[in-house]
Amino acid sequence: MTAVPPAGGLRVRWRAAHQRWHATRLRWRRSLKWRLVTMFLLLALATTGVFLFGMQRVLQGGWQGYAKPMVADYVDRLAAEIGSPPDADRAKALVARLPISVRIDGPQLHYDSHPGRSVHRRWNGDGERDIGAEGWGLVRQTADGHRIVFGLAGPLPSDRPRAFGWLTLAGLLLLTVIAYARVRSLLRPLDDIGAGVARFGAGDFTQPIEQTRRDELGELAERINRMAHSLHGMLDAKRALLLAISHELRSPLTRARVNAELVDEGEHRDALLRDLGEMRDLITDLLESERLATGHAALQTERVDLGALARELLATQFAQAAVTLRFDETLGPVQADPTRVRLLLRNLVDNALRHNAGAEQPPLLELAREADGQLRLSVRDHGPGVSEDQLARLAEPFYRADSARQRSTGGVGLGLTLCRLVAQAHGGTLSLRNAQPGLEVIARWPIATASG
């Protein structure tokens, strides 16, 4: 007894099949290559159908006009040879000599050279009727009331039309494969253009799009290269201007801080020193972000013990703060830029302490090796967190969830941006999530094990 699956299981399978079909249709609609191949296949099928239909009409309208009179004359000779009344032996002799079939129906003789085989016979509801035989004039009535029907009964193998059908299908499939290969070759520059646009979007302008063609796609690649060159020039000019302004501001800022130290102690002196310190940090962060914008080229990697670096940072710059360190002891020395990693840790811990005020648990700093072989560096606070719509923008330059920019929250909105740039320069990513409670910032990048 066959078990009937429950209706819920059928609905789940139907829904999964529907989703797969929907995904396949979306991929087809978004793929220019497959749409062109489908067009070629439909064109081949339509061409074949139109050709067969046209040839059939040509045969019916032209060839039959010439062939029918000759066939009718030949059938008259065959009927005369059988005689009237028909002679079964003569009919057998004709069948033995020629690749034809003979059926005789009448008051004196009933003969069928191929019993059980209907060569031209079709059913019309009232009985059998030799439509094909009548259409080609292969039916003769004798004077004594007999009806002779002639037909073709050659020794053609029955699987030959089927073989032709499979060969036709194989030919269509071959044409489809050839069409796909040709379309793939024609549209191959699109892959290079897509890869080049992705590089330009990531800030890598060192490798232009390779131009292998002189058609419209080649012209498109050349235009994108010119656009990327222009954008690179504008970005370099902007970066050079920003660096020049930042460098020029350092000297008067240093002099202003020295002069502020000479002011009598008091509230105004403290406020002035605090503002000058924020300006100094802003200029430093701006310079560092522009250096890191060049990616891995800005790093000076060496053998780094991340555990020792984290402990030293917490013991010096955050000696008065409570921070929990969780370190994977199996994580040995790695190749990294210690200055940039210390900057990343300092910004993340400082950000966590700033938003952990009033929480029962201290921030958590964790260094570990993940299952996929990547380094996981995370810092979590236990504060109120942020809303989901603000979460994706926290690492943007100068963005702060505190739109009022109160002094108590500190910072200018570049700390997480620098952390993201450090992670990207090491070949990784920076992600943020609400840990409920608190916010967790996670930096991941592939581990390059230090040798020696």
Tell me the fold of 189-293. Answer: Helix Hairpins (1.10.287)
Radius of gyration of the chain (CA): 44
Give the closest residue to 411 by CA, choosing from 237, 278, 222: 278
For residue 34, which phi and psi values (nearest 5 degrees)?
-70, -30
Give me the residue spans of the domains in the chain. 189-293, 296-446
Q: Which residues of the chain have pLDDT under 50?
A: 1, 119-129, 131, 403-408, 452
Same fold for the domain at 189-293 and the one at 296-446?
Answer: no
Contact predicate 409/434, CB 8 Å: no
Output the pTM of the full model: 0.48
Answer whether the bond into residue 437 is a cis peptide, omega within 30°: yes
Residues 6+ apart with CB under 8 A from 244: none
Cα–Cα distance for residue pair 428/420, rounded to 1 Å = 9
pLDDT score, position 137: 63
pLDDT at 68: 76
Kindly tell me the burial class for residue 190, based on how many C-beta atoms sit within 10 Å of its own C-beta (0-12, 13-18, 19 or more): middle
pLDDT digit string, tens, across residues 397-425? 666 665 433 444 555 567 788 888 888 88
Conformational region of residue 441, where left means phi above 0, alpha means psi within -120 to 50, and beta covers everything else: beta
208-225 pLDDT tens trace:
888 887 778 888 888 998
Query: Phi, psi at residue 367, to the nearest 5°?
Result: -125, 125
Give me 355's structure tokens: 């938003």
The identity of residue 386, as a single letter, is: V
Architecture of domain 296-446: 2-Layer Sandwich (3.30)
Q: What's the pLDDT score for residue 133?
A: 56
Chain position carrying tokens 């995904």: 23
